[in-house]
Structure 1
Amino acid sequence: MTDGAERRFRFRSDWRIPAPAAAVFAVLENVEDYPAWWPQVREVIRDGPDSGRCRFRSFLPFELRVTATAARRDPAAGLLEVVLAGDLDGRVRWLLRPRPGGTAVRYEQDTALRKPGLRRLARPARPLLIANHALMMRAGRRGLRARLGVRAGSHLDEG
């Protein structure tokens, strides 16, 4: 049996996107469109003005289903924060900062794995779960860049 710490995952990704912060925020805020540009986000169904159900699948052969509820949405501060419940419980936060030539985007996730089958694998499969998440985030950055019409190869797009 694993303890709670082994089922907790904290991730941080930093992206530099060569697009204005307001444009990046608008794409990130519109979660119903995530499946159109982020391949691992398979489905988003809005249940209310600030909540919905999401389905994710990356490289590993399992899906995660969560209910996502907006906790904070502050365009002026460049902050989007969402509470997750379901196969993952916790919080996800996007923080955007204007930078010369674009936007610094930070993604933070602090969640606990609740999906029963995966809970048992949390300790032995931890490196695979972390790699799976990294692949998902890389695809998300590429998809966001494409959604914004950003040309690939820009030096501001690294990270």
Structure 2
Amino acid sequence: MRLNTYQFRDSWFIAAPAPSVFDAVTDLARYPQWWPDVRSVRRIDDETAELICRATLPYDLVLQMRRAEQDAPAGRLRVHLTGDLEGSLAALVHRHPAGTRLDITQRVVAMKPLLRRLPVARPLFRANHALMMRRGQTGLRRFLGPPVAAR
């Protein structure tokens, strides 16, 4: 694997119904309301949005996300990424008795010059990503409200 290639896998448990989780993760315009690391979202067209993200390290990532698949009944979402990261992001929403599990897989190549020039900082970049994802999970939990009662 090249030093500027990354693969991330995250699983989030959200104590909310699967349709609510799916709706929240497909509504990019509302990301800044619940995900503090997503600083802004600008709609480009019906299938594409531009996001500006900044986690803990002092640099922004500018990403264009273009919808490739959005299948609510199957709980599948996939987008193509271009900009500072190029590749794909796929999400699968699984129903769970106490809520929902959201599995997220990202396969990207870093295009931002800073990320390409500092391969020795790769562990820092990975840690930065992990912190961003943790804040996203926490924010989505708060956004979707109190836990679902166990059945």
> What is the TM-score when the length of structure 2 is the normalising length?
0.95
For 2:48, the equivalent position in structure 1 comes to: 51
Counterpart-to-counterpart distance in 1, 2:37 and 2:48: 19
> Matched residues in 2 for 1:13 and 1:118: separation?
21
Deviation (angstroms), 1:23: 0.6
Q: Which residue of 2 aligns with 1:86?
A: 83
User: Is the 2:28–2:49 contact (alpha carbons within 8 Å) kept by the matching residues of 1?
Assistant: no
Distance in 2 of aligned mates of 1:37 and 1:144: 6
Q: Which residue of 1 aligns with 2:64?
A: 67
The residue type equivalent to 1:100 in the other structure is P
Q: Deviations over 1:51-78 (max 9, x none)?
A: 0111110000100101110000000110
The residue that corresponds to 2:35 in the other structure is 38
Pairing 1:136–2:132 present: yes
Q: CA RMSD in A?
A: 1.4
Aligned-residue offset at 1:117: 2.2
Take 1:118 and 1:11, find their aligned partners in 2: how far apart are those partners?
16
1:15 equivalenced with 2:12 (yes/no): yes
Aligned mates of 1:57, 1:129 — CA distance in 2: 12
Shift of residue 85, structure 1, vs aligned partner: 0.5
Distance 1:28 1:15 in 2: 12
Q: Which structure 2 residues correspond to residues 108-127 of structure 1 after superposition, within 5 A?
A: 108-121=105-118, 123-127=119-123
Aligned length: 149
Which SS does the other structure have where 1:149 is aligned? coil
Q: TM-score, normalised by structure 1?
A: 0.90
Distance 1:78 1:95 in 2: 5
In the alignment, the residues of structure 1 paired with residue 2 and residue 53 of structure 2 have an alpha-carbon distance, to the nearest angstrom, of: 23
Structure 1's unaligned 5+ residue stretches are: none
- Post-superposition, which runs of at least 4 consecutive aligned residues in structure 1 deviate over 6 A? none
